[in-house]
Amino acid sequence: MDNCIFCKILHDEIPAQKIYEDSEVIAFNDINPAAPVHFLIIPKIHVASLMECGKTHQQILGKMLLLAPTIAKEQGCTDGFRTIINTGRVGGQEVFHLHIHIIGSKNRLPAMIHKD
Ligand code: AMP
Ligand code: ZN
The rounded Å distance from CA 21 to ligand 1 centre is 18
Give the ligand whose atoms come closest to the C-alpha of residue 83: 1
Q: How far apart are CA 27 and CA 99, in angstroms?
A: 9
Residue 116 pLDDT level (bands cut at 50, 70, 90): low
Q: Cα of 8 to ligand 2 centre, how many Å? A: 7
Q: With 80 as the cut, is the pLDDT of residue 114 above it?
A: no
Per-residue pLDDT of 32-54, as tens digits, reads 999 999 999 999 999 999 999 99
86 lines ligand 1 (CB under 6 A): yes
Specify whether the CB–CB gap between 27 and 20 falls below 8 A. Answer: yes
Window from 44-48, 78-82, 99-103, 108-112 with minimum mean pLDDT: 108-112
User: Residues with catalytic annotation?
Assistant: 99
**Cα–Cα distance for residue pair 85/40, rounded to 1 Å:** 10
Residues 89-107: pLDDT tens digits? 999 999 999 999 999 999 9
Tell me if 23 sits within 8 A of 29, measured CB to CB: no
Q: What share of the chain is helix, strand, coil (3-state, %, to 5)?
A: 30, 20, 50
